[in-house]
Structure 1
Amino acid sequence: METLELALHPDPEPRLAALLAARASPVRVALLVADLHRPAPADLQLLARLALAGRRAGHRMVLRGAGPRLRLLLRLTGLAEALPVE
């Protein structure tokens, strides 16, 4: 399965939609989150929206470079299964 990388800034939602629309077969999208040293609730909401959009289109979403705080928040909010960390 092909892997695409997507940085969170600037404005990842339209870029994700464009990337996925250009693919005929499912891909794996690695969201680059190493810059999220102090993730806020808005960051978790964004990650959840991106994961949902990717999954609805039949693609696999993963997080790349998640730090300990983000990993903990993912577990506490129940998003760890929807957004596995590599």
Structure 2
Amino acid sequence: MSLTEAEHQAWTQAAGGQRVSVWARERVQERLEAGIPGADEVQELARIRADLARVGSNLNQLMRAVNQGQVVPTPQLYEAVEALAGQLGALRRALP
């Protein structure tokens, strides 16, 4: 692993007298064992959350129209909206 001089100094200080390679390996292992998502996973979760927020907003607008008495074209659309609302809630609860 290559480090800049500044990174090496910061890691050496953080290691507190322990060999940097041992300290770094322990930090990586702790992260893996803790199940902490990496940067790629965090970005993907952010994209999913944004998509879900847009879907939720559209769903709210549609349901507001329905609750105000506007005509829904088919019973299947209403069923689909209810199913989507349930799935959206389940996804939001499942995401960290």
Normalised to the residue count of structure 1, the TM-score between the two structures is 0.26
Give the number of the structure with larger relative contact order, counting CA–CA contacts within 8 Å between residues 6 or more apart.
1
Normalised to the residue count of structure 2, the TM-score between the two structures is 0.24
Larger Cα Rg: Structure 1 or Structure 2?
A: 2
Structure number having the greater helix percentage: 2
Structure number having the greater strand percentage: 1
